């Protein structure tokens, strides 16, 4: 088997495992893994390929959350629709940026993801929230801005989407986490399609990431109950790893 495909599959398994255990934040590791473990030379190809894999993983998670009835579809779509436009614009902008400069910006986004994960999650909120004009007026601009950032950096944006949904609507953390997958799927798909149109998605590595991701999800589902008692500590240790990786990406980009 091609060593690059094997390491891509293992990378996909690791990313999916961390996403299953910790939720938002795990997808930002996909691009560094493709660059520094798999050996992808072009940062744009790494970003485009990882965005495609993130979109598929999010779609699988969304199906499960929708089946459980946790997705607040009117709020999620009101947030996601303008964000879709923003993500296309962000991806178009990113492709015009020098690869190493883009990685420096990506490192900043990674650091922001890691630092956001130190905050203890809160669970209060309205489980029966409904969309109304006031909520829509808050969801649209926040969705557009989040989509722009997700498209530019090539990340799912879940760490921004869930808090944005909670702040704009008052929904619970569980509903926000589930509903955020609508936008992660849309943003990842839009970003990857934009990159694919420019020939910047590696189809073989994408498939390897997906195959590995399926294994990672299965392993994560079995491990999750064992981490429940120390979820916050584990999440913060994971955040330290993301911040450290961001520092390494910045060093490689600026060296």
Q: What is the pTM of this model?
A: 0.84
pLDDT beyond 70 at 24: no
pLDDT beyond 70 at 228: no
Longest dimension (CA), the chain: 55
Instruction: Kindly report, residue by residue over 45-86, the tens digit of the pLDDT.
Output: 999 999 999 888 888 888 888 888 889 999 999 999 999 999
Residue ranges making up the domain that contains 32: 3-254
Strands, E assignment, 164-216: none
Compute the chain's Rg from CA coordinates.
Answer: 17
Residue 49 pLDDT:
95
In this structure, are residues 39 and 235 in contact, taking their beta carbons and an 8 Å threshold?
no
In this structure, are residues 6 and 219 in contact, taking their beta carbons and an 8 Å threshold?
no
Nearest to 94 by CA among 37, 29, 50: 50
Number of separate domains in the chain: 1
Tokens of 10: 């293992």
Out of 142-146, 148-152, 170-174, least confident range:
170-174
- Assign 126 to helix, strand or coil: strand
CA 156/CA 105 separation, integer angstroms: 15
Q: What is the mean pLDDT of residues 244-254?
A: 89
In this structure, are residues 49 and 206 in contact, taking their beta carbons and an 8 Å threshold?
yes
Tokens of 105: 């910006």
The percent of residues above 70 in pLDDT, for the chain, comes to 91
Residue 14 pLDDT:
87
Instruction: Kindly report, residue by residue over 184-210, the tens digit of the pLDDT.
Output: 899 999 999 999 999 999 999 999 999
In this structure, are residues 53 and 156 in contact, taking their beta carbons and an 8 Å threshold?
no
The percent of residues above 90 in pLDDT, for the chain, comes to 41
Q: What is the mean pLDDT of residues 37-52?
A: 93
């Amino acid at each position: 088997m091609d060593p690059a495909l094997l390491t891509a599959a293992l990378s996909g398994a690791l990313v999916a495992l961390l996403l299953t255990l910790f939720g938002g934040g795990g997808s930002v590791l996909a691009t560094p893994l493709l660059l520094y473990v798999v050996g992808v030379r072009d940062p744009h190809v790494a970003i485009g390929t990882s965005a495609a894999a993130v979109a598929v993983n999010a779609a699988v998670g969304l199906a499960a959350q929708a089946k459980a009835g946790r997705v607040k579809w009117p709020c999620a779509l009101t947030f996601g629709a303008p964000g879709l436009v923003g993500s296309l614009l962000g991806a178009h902008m990113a492709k015009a940026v020098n690869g190493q400069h883009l990685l420096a910006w990506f490192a900043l986004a990674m650091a922001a993801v890691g630092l956001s994960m130190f905050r203890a999650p809160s669970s209060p909120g309205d489980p029966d929230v409904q969309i109304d004009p006031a909520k829509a007026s808050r969801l649209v601009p926040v969705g557009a801005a989040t989509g722009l950032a997700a498209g530019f950096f090539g990340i799912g944006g879940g760490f921004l989407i869930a808090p944005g949904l909670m702040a704009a609507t008052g929904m619970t953390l569980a509903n926000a986490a589930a509903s955020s997958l609508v936008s992660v799927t849309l943003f990842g798909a839009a970003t990857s399609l934009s990159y694919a149109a420019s020939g910047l998605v590696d189809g073989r590595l994408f498939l390897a990431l997906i195959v590995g991701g399926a294994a990672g999800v299965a392993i994560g589902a079995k491990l999750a109950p064992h981490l429940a008692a120390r979820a916050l500590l584990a999440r913060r240790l994971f955040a330290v790893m993301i911040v450290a990786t961001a520092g390494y990406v910045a060093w490689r980009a600026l060296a």
